[in-house]
Amino acid sequence: MKNCATCGQLIAANCKACPHCGAKNKKPFYKKWWLWVIVAIVIVAIAGGSGDTTADANTKQPESTVQNEEQGTEQKTAKDTEEPKTEEPKTEEPQVPQEYKNALAKAESYSSMMHMSKQGIYDQLTSEYGEKFPADAAQYAIDHLDADYKENALEKAKSYYEDMNMSKDAVRNQLISEYGEKFTAEEADYAIANLK
């Protein structure tokens, strides 16, 4: 039960109109669900949009103060010693194609997560059943990949030795096999020597 907003008589809460005065019994605006959805969206938009500019303004302001102080000092010393300024020619780094960058990112993933050999990564990048990168993109990735292939061989060896219960000889053969992991003999020897 509630009171009619127009005549003040006691009426049922769910009736559409007041039986005494005929006034429509509407929900107050603040009890409508769609209003709160709009309010929430506006609040999120304001919070999301203003957060970036405030952070940028706060971080840039101290820099400008420091720069102004430095510029004042530099201006004083520049007045004392007037020397002509010569700009050094800017050397532009060669533009690396996006496909090369993508190949490098894939190579990093194969090295860090799957502990693959250099040849294994190259083959995976160029394989028609793998990543299908062109040979030059794959070679760029291999040349620019910062990987420790001895450690990769050791991680693979641990997997074969501990998880697959293989002997050290079988592990070494798997590491150097052209049908296996394709590590170099030196990398495989390092892995076997450091297996525990």
Tell me the C-alpha distance between 32 and 97, whole Å. Answer: 55
Predicted pLDDT of residue 128 = 92
pLDDT of residue 116: 96
Domain residue ranges of the chain, discontinuous segments joined by +: 1-52, 98-147, 148-196
Q: Which CATH class is domain 148-196?
A: mainly alpha
SS3 content of the chain, % helix, strand, coil (to 5): 60, 5, 35
Q: When comparing pLDDT for 52 and 157, which is higher?
A: 157
pTM of the predicted model as reported, rounded to 2 decimal places: 0.53
- pLDDT confidence bin for 29, thresholds 50/70/90: low
CATH hierarchy code of domain 98-147: 1.10.10.10
Tell me, what DSSP letter sits at residue 17?
B
Judge whether residue 56 has pLDDT over 60: no
Q: What is the mean pLDDT of residues 150-162?
A: 95
Q: Which of 96 and 54 is assigned the larger pLDDT? A: 96
- Residue 2 DSSP SS3: strand
Q: Identical fold at 98-147 and 148-196? A: yes
The predicted model gives 161-172 an average pLDDT of 94
